[in-house]
Amino acid sequence: MGTLLSSALVAGMLISVAPVNVMALGGPSGPKIDYQVTGKIGQVEMDPYGYAPLTAVIRDGGYDLSDVHVKIVPKKGGQVIEYDVTDNKIKQNGGIPVFGLYADYKNKIEVKYTRNFNGKIEKIKEAYTIYAPPVYQTGSGKRGQNGLPFAKVEVKKVDKEFSDRLYLVNNIQGKNAKSAQMIWNNPAGGALEWNYPSNAFIVDTHGEVRWYINTEELIQYDNMFRTGIMMGFQQNNDGALSWGFGQRYVKYDLMGREIFDRQLPKSYNDFSHSMESLDNGNFILRVASSNKKRPDGRNVRTVRDVILEVDAQGNVVDDWKLYDILDPYRSTVMTSLDQGAVCLNVDASASGHTMTKEDIAKMDKSDHFGDIVGSGPGRNWAHVNSVDYDKSDDSIIISSRHQSANIKIGRDKKVKWILGAHEGWGKEYQDKLLTPIDAKGNKIVCENGKCPGYLDEDKGGFDWTWTQHTAFVIDSKSNKDVTYLSVFDNGDGRGLEQPAIASMKYSRAVIYKIDQKKMTVQQVWEYGKQRGNEWYSPITSITEYEKDKDSIMVYSATAGMGGYDFKKGKPMGAPKPEIVEFKWGSTVPSVQMKFYGTGAGYQAMPISVSKAFSGK
């Protein structure tokens, strides 16, 4: 009897304490919400997606928000960043997205919004104070590096009309101990070993960093499918950024939110330089072939000579295999290049040297394939550094650095025209070569790569582009008959020769007018020749028309590198990349900003915050 009572008593005790145990696991004494709410909605979340440290989200706190406006209060005398936010962007981010914080600074952010809670609608204006951490990027370990992403900026000029500009700058740090540890095998070749570290950041017109990508999270140097030089940045119509690196192409918004992050289709490898978004949602990428069988029976990975089109889901739509469309053995330009800066294989010990046709022929018998200048598939014979889609006739325009030519190719894979020196092209291309004319329509006769106007404005004011970068159609000024093309003319090998003194080299930003029916080309604008060698960029750079301000934006990305000291075998100076922007037709810049301590620049471009957050 006593045993029964004891059992019943114990059972009752267990029953009585059971609810207490449940309460302890999930009730009032369980998880506690104790984050700090500093305003009238929710908590502040810094770098919400892990890739953009100078962004934040003011969480909505469970309220319905609308009519949002954000203003980043500038430092004294600094640049205001302010923008409206659409309702869908609020929902996408779970609150108010904050972009453009100053690094290592207590930022004041003013927000206005409508708050709806249980039918009660309030118009609220309030301010937040948010500290953003310093910019952090891993250094290269090189003795020449003295700042990241730069040491200083010299803002020489900003006209009032351009004072709201924000520029995305994409630079290359060069090879270091972490990068370029891998090469392709089976088959050999390709450009994998030239996967240098890079960075991308946004500066305002006062030289303040207002955004950057955290490459420490994005890049993995020990994974060949997640490493590479970030290149080909473009702001899409939806305000997000697309670009690529190595074996990947990606799209992220300005808050750092991943939209997609994809590996290249397996038939292709080594993305670099160019990624363009099309109106139909497709993307055009500059890649290479991952397995090309040459006529001699050898299988190789090619180098910078294939254009790929993919749809919005990443499916292959089309490709342009340039080694089948152009002449990969045209060596006319390559024999005049400075081998110290063949891009990206910058080798100061080879400065001032060129190659003979015999040298190039010997290379083609070698099994050493890779990103070195040379002829034929598997060599860096084309070095395509930009691709632009011309929707007027469903064509692409490429800039081929190692052919010193800008070339238009149709969907049918046929060449439509070639803007470049006429020397060295086979008979099948002769009727595709554009004829230079002056402003009156008179033919300009160029011989051996030299045009009379490149030394004397009175004789036509015309020159070809040499080892150029970026050939972009100016859509708003072009039609099916007439194309305006912006190009950065780097200038190495100008006139198919090296000058007597390296310091004679210069670069140009140039605009051409192409009559596609008459097959003529007129040079209508240029800048840079008057700056001489101090503005000379042996590699990289960009010239692009900006419709919003009817302007031309130029980034002379390795200006200051100058010529090479042949005796010492090294550049004569450190790169001092320079942004200049001009009103259409003017040769006097409205913006002039020079960067110091950056390493080699690559490209720069204006960024629209309004497009990113308010869709305008």
Q: What is the DSSP string of 250-291?
A: EEE-TT--EEEEEEPPTTEE-B-S-EEE-TTS-EEEEEEES-
Peptide bond into 218 cis (omega under 30): no
353 is catalytic: no
- The residues that bridge with 263 in the sheet, in sequence order, are 248
- Write down the catalytic residue from 383, 402, 422, 469: 469
CB atoms within 10 A of CB 480: 10
Q: Are strands 299-301 and 188-189 parallel, antiparallel or unpaired?
A: parallel
Q: How far apart are CA 493 and CA 324, in angstroms?
A: 26
Instruction: Give every strand in the sheet of 198-204, ordered side by side.
Output: 209-212, 198-204, 166-172, 600-606
Q: What is the DSSP string of 11-72?
A: HHHHHHHHHHHHHHHHSTTS--------SSS--EEESTTSS-TTEEEEE-TT-EEEEEEEEE
| Element spanning 6, H or E | helix 2-26
Residue 428: both structure tokens together: 């099948």
Specify whether the CB–CB gap between 510 and 487 falls below 8 A.
yes
Specify whether the CB–CB gap between 112 and 125 falls below 8 A.
yes
Q: How far apart are CA 272 and CA 220, in angstroms?
A: 17
- What is the DSSP-derived secondary structure letter of residue 481? S
CB atoms within 10 A of CB 137: 16
DSSP-based three-state secondary structure for 484: strand
Specify whether the CB–CB gap between 202 and 607 falls below 8 A.
yes
Peptide bond into 187 cis (omega under 30): yes
Q: Residue 110, exposed/middle/buried by CB under 10 A (0-12, 13-18, 19+)?
A: middle
Q: What is the DSSP string of 284-351?
A: EEEEEES-EE-TTS-EEE--S-EEEEE-TTS-EEEEEEHHHHS-TT--TTGGGS-TTBSSS-B-GGGT
Q: How far apart are CA 95 and CA 84, in angstroms?
A: 13
Residue 269: both structure tokens together: 């490898």
Specify whether the CB–CB gap between 492 and 506 falls below 8 A.
no
Q: How far apart are CA 463 and CA 575, in angstroms?
A: 25
Cα of first residue to Cα of last residue in the chain, in angstroms, is: 85
Q: For residue 105, give every residue at least 6 positions away whose Cβ sits within 8 Å of its Cβ, in sequence order, or none.
A: 75, 131, 132
Closest CA to 46 of 84, 98, 89, 87: 98
Q: How far apart are CA 95 and CA 60, in angstroms?
A: 4
**What are the residue numbers of the active site?**
469
